[in-house]
Amino acid sequence: MATDNTTRARRSRPARQWPSMADVAAMAGVSSQTVSRVANNRQNVDAGTREKVLSAMQSLGYRPNTAARALVTGRFGALGVVSFGMGAHGNARTLGAIADAAREADYSVNFMGVRAQTEAAVRHAFQHLMLQSVDGIVLVESQMLDTPSLRLPPSMPVVVADGDTGHAYPNVDFDQAHGAQSVVSHLLGLGHRTVWHLAGPADSFAARRRAEAWRRTLTDAGAPVPPVAYGDWSARSGYRTGLDLARRPEVTAVFAANDQMAMGLMRALHEAGRSVPGDVSVAGFDDIAEAPYLQPPLTTVHQDFEVVGKHCVALLLDQIEGRTDGPRRRAVEPVLVVRSSTAPPRPGSGTT
């Protein structure tokens, strides 16, 4: 990065290896403009002429040069996605869904992974994408939007997925509050005196919203609010917290902010001799594909990432194509899926 590019760029102009419109035009005996019209599927071309051009394209193996096209149109046919690592299941699924939706709209996806939510890392990602090679950007779960030096130019369309809503950008998100509330209500409804919470990292907006909804649901129900434990979304962090919680006999129900942490949590409880759901009920969030096959099958909140991806692309295309009348926020409703990791508390348990 930022090294001397002399050597790399020293290669002289490469020999033409792709035919251009002019080549096709010459072969078909028309002007290059007509070739352009055929390539862009314009209707005002005679059927016979179109045929000639198409067969010339075919035999020469012509492909339009996107760079030249982008230069003249100012559009790139590409969307940028900034996301924080493929380790998080949700991020990977969201990216896949965005890519699918983008392909439907004939856009390609330029992916920038960012390892850390540090200013430098995010700035680098933005700089790379903002080299004017994308028509818009989807930010997946970023908390960095308010850092002034990272502000994107106002002319760049942006959609934020699964992130903070306290900014001006259009936004697609799960209704985290509703999902978390449904889990906590479910557990309280089973008869638990209260529900403990293993939250995601404090700098994650989704984690904060889940924690807030958990707290509100408890207070609304008049249940005591136990201290919050924080993990980092990993099973490992769930395991560490689980070792702690297992030592507290008053813990009868735990809501983990994602399924991976719930896995670690259940493992720790098992090792400590606390059965799930006999002694402790555990619920997760995400409904990863493996959730039905955990031991026990995990009660969790299902999130439809496909829909999120679709909405992200739709909102972005609205901006790119200048439509301002569409919605600027979309919420996707998560659905509680009750399996076997939650049950009523043992009679007499859970008292302090």
Residues 292-321 that bind its own copies (CB under 8 A): 292-295, 297, 321
What minimum distance in Å lies between the beta carbon of 336 and DNA?
Answer: 49
User: Which is nearer to DNA, 21 or 172 (by Cβ)?
Assistant: 21
Out of 50, 93, 192, 330, the only residue in the binding site for its own copies (CB under 8 A) is 93
φ/ψ of 209, rounded to 5, equals -65, -40
Asked if 254 and 265 touch (Cβ cutoff 8 Å), the reply is: yes
**Shortest Å, Cβ 202 to DNA:** 41
- The SS3 call for residue 291 is helix
In the complex with its own copies, the residue whose CB is nearer, 42 or 329, is 42
State CA 114 to chain mean position distance: 13
| Min dist. Cβ of residue 149 to DNA (A) | 22
Residues 6+ apart with CB under 8 A from 47: none
DSSP, res 210: H
CB under 8 A: which stretch of 161-169, 221-229, 230-238, 329-337 binds its own copies? 230-238
User: In this chain, which of 26, 85, 150, 331 binds its own copies, going by CB under 8 A?
Assistant: 85
Site for its own copies in 191-220 (CB under 8 A): none
Closer residue to its own copies, CB minimum distance, 93 or 210: 93
Report if residue 73 touches its own copies, rule: CB under 8 A. Answer: yes
CA distances from 26 to 31, 56, 57, 62 (A): 7, 9, 11, 13
CA 209 – CA 257 distance, rounded (Å): 10
CB-neighbour burial class of residue 153 (10 A; exposed 0-12, middle 13-18, buried 19+): exposed
Q: Which stretch binds its own copies (CB under 8 A): 103-111, 175-183, 201-209, 210-218?
A: 103-111
Residue 325's binding partner among its own copies, DNA, none (Cβ under 5 to 8 angstroms by kind) is: none
Applying CB under 7 A, the residues found at the interface with DNA are 9, 12-13, 16, 18, 20-22, 29-34, 36-37, 39-40, 43-46, 48-50, 62, 64-65, 68-69, 71-73
Q: Report the partner that residue 34 touches, choosing among DNA, its own copies, none (CB closer than 5 to 8 A by kind).
A: DNA
Q: What is the DSSP letter of 141?
A: S
The residue range among 23-31, 175-183, 188-196, 288-296 that interacts with its own copies, by the rule CB under 8 A, is 288-296
Q: Which does 216 bind (CB under 5 to 8 A by kind): its own copies, DNA, none?
A: none
Question: Is residue 74 involved in binding its own copies (CB under 8 A)?
Answer: yes
Residue written as tokens 């990602």?
Answer: 125
264 binds, among its own copies, DNA, none (CB under 5 to 8 A by kind): its own copies
**Cβ contacts of 35 within 8 Å, gap of 6 or more:** 21, 24, 25, 28, 53, 56, 57
| Residue of 174, 205, 214, 239 that binds its own copies (CB under 8 A) | 239
Alpha helices in the chain (DSSP H): 6-9, 21-28, 32-39, 47-60, 66-73, 89-104, 119-130, 176-189, 205-220, 235-246, 259-271, 305-320
Closest to 166 in 3D by CA, of 150, 133, 142:
142
Structure tokens at 245: 């919680």
Number of residues that bind its own copies (CB under 8 A): 82
- The residue (of 18 and 293) whose beta carbon lies closer to DNA is 18
